[in-house]
């Protein structure tokens, strides 16, 4: 993995599944992070080749639910993000998937109560010894590159000190969300504090925070000196933010997302959640489109809603012939 001058899709819960990752890559994303997967769940998974749709699935044994789905098309750019609070369990989980992804990332920035209560995500920021244990364990036992994503600590000096400790573990890159745990999305990202981290490290730093237009990629690079730039909400609202030619019309992006969800048989709950997030930014769930998405019970319903029912029929007909 090369982390210099890259445009990166951030990890997003319930959103960063295969269709959105491939959509972002189609529009110009160089690296795409999957949604955070908790190690407790992933160690119960087994790898299966899904010949029905041409994917590689990691399925929870017993429940038979797909926890993570990828494909050869994204093999060299997809990053598997892991939620963990234990080095041995993290390694067990990483070894299951490491040959099918470009890198393994440890989530150290999620402020959600679920992650923090389990000692994961942002809870790790106050446990430098555990951070060191997890990252060094992965680095010593995996050939796959290892990275992590953090948030800012109470002071810039504290964050720089933690970043230096992380660098010493041998990680390939460090992603930094320019907000503190207590900050809300409406609070401005602190690009100057990301710049302090960049100045202190020799490994690539991926800057994250307040990127909503293509020009913002260069703005944050200029302000921080970061090697690469990561975007979350801006890409969720319109994945064509990665295109240097300008954003594609919103309706076209939604239809392309639906097509990819159909092609890769994406979970209907995840597909609906992503669409609702797209709609809420530009419109309202109280309007006919939003209400129709909420009422949809399967991908066929969404295909009909967005005028992709013929595509749905073609894809399923091909699967029938192949299988």
Report strand pairing: 78-83 vs 146-152.
unpaired
User: Binding site annotation covers 273?
Assistant: no
The hierarchical CATH code for the domain 7-242 is: 3.20.20.70
Query: Which segments of the chain have a pLDDT < 70?
Result: 322-323
Run of H or E including 137: helix 128-141
148 belongs to the catalytic site: no
Instruction: Outline where DSSP puts E strands in 187-322.
Output: 205-208, 228-231
The full set of domain ranges for the chain reads 7-242, 250-322
User: Binding site annotation covers 13?
Assistant: yes
pLDDT tens sequence across 245-281: 999 999 999 999 999 999 999 999 999 999 999 999 9
**Burial of 322 per CB tally in 10 Å (0-12, 13-18, 19+):** exposed
User: Binding site annotation covers 295?
Assistant: no
Q: What local confidence, expressed as pLDDT, does residue 322 receive?
A: 62
Given 45, 98, 110, 148, which residue is catalytic?
110
Angle made by CA atoms 13, 16, 21, in degrees to the nearest 5: 170
Phi first, then psi, for residue 284 (nearest 5°) are: -150, 145
pLDDT tens sequence across 83-93: 999 999 999 99
């Amino acid at each position: 993995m090369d982390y210099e001058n890259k445009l990166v899709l951030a990890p997003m819960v319930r959103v960063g599944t295969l269709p959105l990752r491939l959509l972002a890559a189609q529009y110009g994303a160089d690296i795409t992070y999957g949604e955070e997967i908790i190690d407790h769940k992933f160690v119960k998974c087994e790898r299966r080749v899904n010949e029905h749709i041409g994917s590689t699935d990691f399925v929870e044994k017993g429940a038979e639910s797909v926890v993570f789905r990828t494909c050869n098309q994204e093999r060299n750019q997809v990053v598997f993000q892991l939620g963990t609070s234990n080095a041995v369990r993290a390694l067990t989980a990483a070894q299951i998937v490491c040959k099918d992804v470009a890198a393994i990332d440890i989530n150290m920035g999620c402020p959600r109560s679920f992650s923090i209560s389990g000692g994961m995500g942002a809870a790790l920021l106050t446990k430098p010894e555990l951070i060191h244990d997890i990252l060094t364990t992965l680095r010593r036992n995996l050939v796959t590159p290892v990275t992590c994503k953090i948030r800012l600590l109470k002071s810039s000096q504290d964050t720089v000190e933690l970043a230096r400790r992380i660098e010493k573990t041998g990680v390939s890159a460090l992603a930094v969300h320019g907000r503190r745990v207590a900050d809300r999305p409406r609070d401005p990202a602190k690009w100057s504090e990301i710049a302090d981290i960049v100045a202190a490290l020799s490994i690539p730093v991926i800057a994250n925070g307040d990127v909503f237009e293509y020009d913002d990629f260069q703005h944050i690079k200029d302000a921080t000196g970061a090697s690469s730039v990561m975007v979350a909400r801006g890409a969720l609202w319109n994945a064509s933010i990665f295109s240097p030619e300008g954003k594609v019309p919103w309706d076209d992006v939604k239809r392309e997302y639906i097509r990819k969800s159909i092609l890769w048989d994406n979970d209907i709950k995840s597909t609906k959640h992503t669409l609702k997030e797209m709609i809420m930014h530009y419109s309202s769930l109280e309007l006919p489109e939003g209400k129709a998405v909420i009422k949809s019970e399967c991908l066929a319903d969404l295909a009909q809603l967005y005028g992709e029912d013929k595509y749905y029929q073609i894809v399923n007909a091909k699967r029938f012939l192949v299988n």
